[in-house]
Structure 1
Amino acid sequence: MAAETREREEQGGPAVFFLHPDLGIGGAERLIVDAAVALRARGCRVQIWTPRFDPSRCFSEALQLDVRTAGGWLPRSILGRGHALCAALRMVCLALHVLLLSGEAPDAFVCDQVSACIPVLRLFRTRKKVLFYCHFPDQLLTKRESFIKRLYRAPLDWLEEYTTGLADCILVNSCFTASVFKETFKSLSHLNPDVLYPSLNFSKFDTVVSSDVASIVCKRRFLFLSINRYERKKNLILALEALHELRSRLDAHEWSETHLVLAGGYDDAVQENVDYYEELKAVAAKLRVEEQVTFLRSFSDEQKISLLSSCICVLYTPSNEHFGIVPLEAMYMKCPVIAVNSGGPLESIVNNQTGFLCEPLPTQFAEAMEKFVKIPALKRTMGAAGRTRVLEKFSSEAFTEKLYQYIHSLMQ
């Protein structure tokens, strides 16, 4: 085994393949791209395999990685339904393609989101090691409002739990997710997944914003920013309702200088994105705040940096978020965060120091927003504290070293 390890190192390190269901724009995709970049920096030969990859809708770093596709011929849904089943089938097909048709010889696999492919990776005599990164149990991400839906999900829930337990190493993104993991997967109660916090590529955020990119920013003194995908579970309506509530707390001049940007991942192929975008515009009109709101869809990294550089605060509205990379990005950019006091933000944000943790109520969010309008120095002091916290606890160096050690342990 030692000789084999030395041979791999002489050849440039182990070959680590990532299997991911859709390499678009989101928190899970951000982590996968960062993990791939981290392992490549440590000398690993890295490939990302996915059924779907659109170079026009991805993180910029993904364009510098070896990304390959297979299994995309299978549908993502059947008449708009069965997304979970189709995702499982696509990932099984992807795993079979990599093992049987790609001509590649990976040493280890990193899977996330969909665990159905793990048994396939264990079928062959020269079985490869599998690390599974659990962002959150998939079965908790969908509602069971009918008997038919519960019946449909029952075998898929069992499959998720069973196949997750087959991984050689299981990591989660927060202590919150670790507790939910144990509560949800009863048969895996003997397992204690390790926590590997997501990190940031600091160099990307140190980019100097060009004037043409900065032009997208509304020239308002009190610019609030929300960054989240256009999905209902992100509760973006809370940001609009908080803005409406804030109006009654400000004088006419302060209100005229206030603006909210709702920036988020958007895909025309995802019907929920399309429907929710229209719903949000209707809510803004109903609340009569549409003149104070800008909807920005599928923005670039440069645009995000420009917005974070210009806003006084980030509104982070989802409840029980698994971890949430946006608060880290904001705090690194010295931008305080107002977030719901549940889930991952409890581990990333220090209440009253790097931002505010509130109940998911418009009145509480508006009260916190008012403080940044009335007390200009608050952004500077909280922003500095946020930058310090990210550098100390969520550095890319710590993430890279821990991830590499997990992969190295698997190879022994």
Structure 2
Amino acid sequence: MHQLVVHFFVFLLILQAMPKQTQIIHDMFQIKGGGERLVIAMCQGLDTDLLTAHIGPNTFDLSQINGDVINLDALSRIHGIKTWRLAKAFKNLKTEQNCYEQIIYSGVASPLAVHHFPTAKNIFYCHTPPRFVYDKKSYYADGFNPLKRMAFNLLVNWFKPQYEKAIKQMDVVLTNSHYVQARIKSTTGLDAAVIHPPCDTHRFKWIAQGDYYLSMARHDDLKRIDSIIKAFLKMPDKKLIIASGGGQTDALKRIAGNAKNISFTGWLNEAKMMSLLGNCLATIYVPLDEDFGMTPVESMSAGKPVICSNHGGLLETVIDGVTGYFVSSENLVNDIIQKVNLLSNNHQASLMRSACEERAGSFDTQLFLKKLKEFL
């Protein structure tokens, strides 16, 4: 009996010493965004542990993850130094080396942890090279006063070489669209393989054909919700519901004024958002320079066509005239009006339902996991 107990504890010690298979390291969980959904899908589908620098109150419930969840709680409460704090947290990560066979990195700052795992297979899922470092550096800098601009440039000069050194240590680089694949090549010189993000197609359901259009995008100026509002101000007989929230909410409400056909919901729980989506006539999503855009895929999964921008990763998801309509940036407001009228007439949105659902199946979570496992 004594020997059995000894052997049992020796077995436990050996088991603990064995390397675990996979850990995912993601920048932070601050919102309910597409990147966060992707990481949760990977954690669940691959049965992994998760390490992140921050878990906020307005993000997804991470208790659904079976593996260990480690929160470094490293996000600064001081506005403007978020990236620096995240980068420092991952760069100076205190963790046991060589305890995982594979590490999957997601985000902008998380790759800086790569030097802690020299014997692991390091896989980077790049949602985009950091825009503030590369193609949108001037866009962000122009929005700062001289003092903040100087601090911003110092951050870029400090972060860029470390980021580039880290991603060159990756064994595999993956990304979410051919559009971002080309950006990765042009900015870093690296070749990335494309695996489109996953959509839990069984979660989104067509419920009824309502009489309102739905915007689900975060309230950010690059999402151009202001143009959607301006279009519906010219169509008082058409209803628009603006869900979600963000830094631009107050400004968007001022633009909408007291228009009776435009309403704001604020942030919603999952059930209410699913109900809004399942009952709408169609969705509108017109961001500028979108990397991939999960919202149109979710909309199509619910059998709802999408009015969306005619550039970026959206060209890889929506089929113009089949699962929605593209609108041009050159005449955005009027183009939105035209496409709304097209969808509102002759039950056109209903006729697109089956094509939308079929198209969404190309981005199903199980297909995503199957493709991902080919690189593990």
Please classify the TM superposition score into its range, dividing by the shorter chain length.
Answer: 0.7 to 0.9
| Structure 2: gaps (5+ residues) | 1-13
1:386 aligns with 2:344: no
CA contact (8 A) 1:53 1:69 kept: no
Equivalents in 2 of 1:367, 1:390: separation in Å?
25
Residue 27 of structure 2 contacts residue 86 of structure 2 at CA under 8 Å; is this kept in 1?
yes
Q: CA deviation at 1:306?
A: 0.7
Q: How far has the Cα of 1:342 moved from its partner? A: 0.9
How many residues in Structure 1 have an aligned counterpart in Structure 2? 347
Alignment counterpart, residue 120 of structure 2, candidates 117, 128, 131:
128
The SS at the match of 2:213 is: strand
1:13 and 1:263 map into 2 onto residues whose CA distance is: 44
4+ long deviations beyond 3 Å: 11-14, 117-121, 149-152
Which residue number in structure 2 is paired with residue 99 of structure 1? 96
Given candidates 52, 55, 80, the residue that maps to 1:53 is 55
The percent identity for this pair of structures is 22
In the alignment, which residue of structure 2 is the partner of 1:181?
184
Q: For 1:122-145, what per-residue CA distance to the aligned partner results, in whole angstroms no more than 9, with x for missing partners?
A: 346x62221111111112455122
Query: Shift of residue 221 of structure 1?
Result: 4.8
Q: Output one character per residue of 1:314-372: Cα deviation in whole Å (capped at 9) or x when no partner.
A: 00021111001111110011100000111111000111111011113111011101112
Q: Does 1:316 align with 2:288?
A: no
* Residues 279/123 of structure 1: CA separation in 2 closer, same or farther (3 Å cut): same
Note the residue ranges of structure 1 that are not aligned, 5 or more in a row: 1-7, 41-45, 215-219, 248-254, 267-272, 408-412
Partner amino acid, structure 1, of 2:51: W
Matches within 5 A, 1:319-338: 319-338=288-307
Q: Secondary structure at the match of 2:84?
A: helix
- Report the equivalent of 2:10: none
Residue equivalent to 1:114: 108
Partner of 1:69: 70
Contact 2:243 / 2:267 at 8 angstroms: preserved in 1? Answer: yes
1:122–1:128: 8 Å Cα contact kept in structure 2? no
Who is 1:35 aligned against? 42
Deviation at 1:229, TM superposition (A): 1.6
SS of 2:174's equivalent? strand
State the Cα distance separating 1:302 from its structure 2 match. 1.5
Residue in 2 aligned with 1:242?
231
Deviation, structure 1 residue 81: 1.8
Give the whole-Å Cα distance in 1 for the aligned partners of 2:18 and 2:43.
15
Distance (whole Å) between structure 2 residues aligned to residue 130 and residue 173 of structure 1: 17
Q: 1:170 and 2:139 equivalent?
A: no
1:11-410, aligned counterparts within 5 Å? Answer: 15-23=21-29, 24-40=31-47, 46-54=48-56, 56-60=57-61, 62-65=62-65, 66=67, 68-72=69-73, 74-76=74-76, 78=78, 80-93=79-92, 96-99=93-96, 105-115=99-109, 117-123=110-116, 127-138=119-130, 139=133, 140=135, 143-145=140-142, 148=150, 149-185=152-188, 189=189, 191-206=190-205, 221-247=210-236, 255=237, 258-264=238-244, 266=245, 273=246, 275-285=247-257, 288-289=258-259, 291-360=260-329, 361-375=332-346, 377-391=347-361, 393-407=362-376
For 2:261 and 2:95, how far apart are their aligned partners in 1?
Answer: 49
- SS at 1:198 equivalent: coil
Q: Give yes or no for contact 2:101–2:119 (8 Å, CA) kept in 1.
A: no
User: 1:225 touches 1:262 (CA, 8 Å); kept in 2?
Assistant: yes
Residue 306 to residue 68, structure 1, CA distance change in 2 (3 Å): same
How big is the alpha-carbon RMSD for the aligned residues of Structure 1 and Structure 2?
Answer: 2.8
Query: CA separation of 1:243/1:233 partners in 2, compared to 1, >3 Å: closer, same or farther?
Result: same
CA distance in structure 2 between the aligned counterparts of 1:240 and 1:295, rounded to whole angstroms: 11
**CA distance, structure 2, for counterparts of residue 158 and residue 122 of structure 1:** 14
Q: Larger relative CO (CA 8 A, sep 6+): 1 or 2?
A: 1
Q: Does the 8 Å contact 1:172/1:193 carry over to 2?
A: yes
Shift of 1:260: 1.3
Per the alignment, residue 4 of structure 2 pairs with: none
- Structure 1 residues 245 and 150, CA, compared in 2 at 3 Å: closer, same or farther? farther
Structure 1 contact 246–369 (Cα < 8 Å) conserved: no
Residues 112, 135 of structure 1: 8 Å contact kept:
yes
With normalisation by structure 1, the TM-score equals 0.77
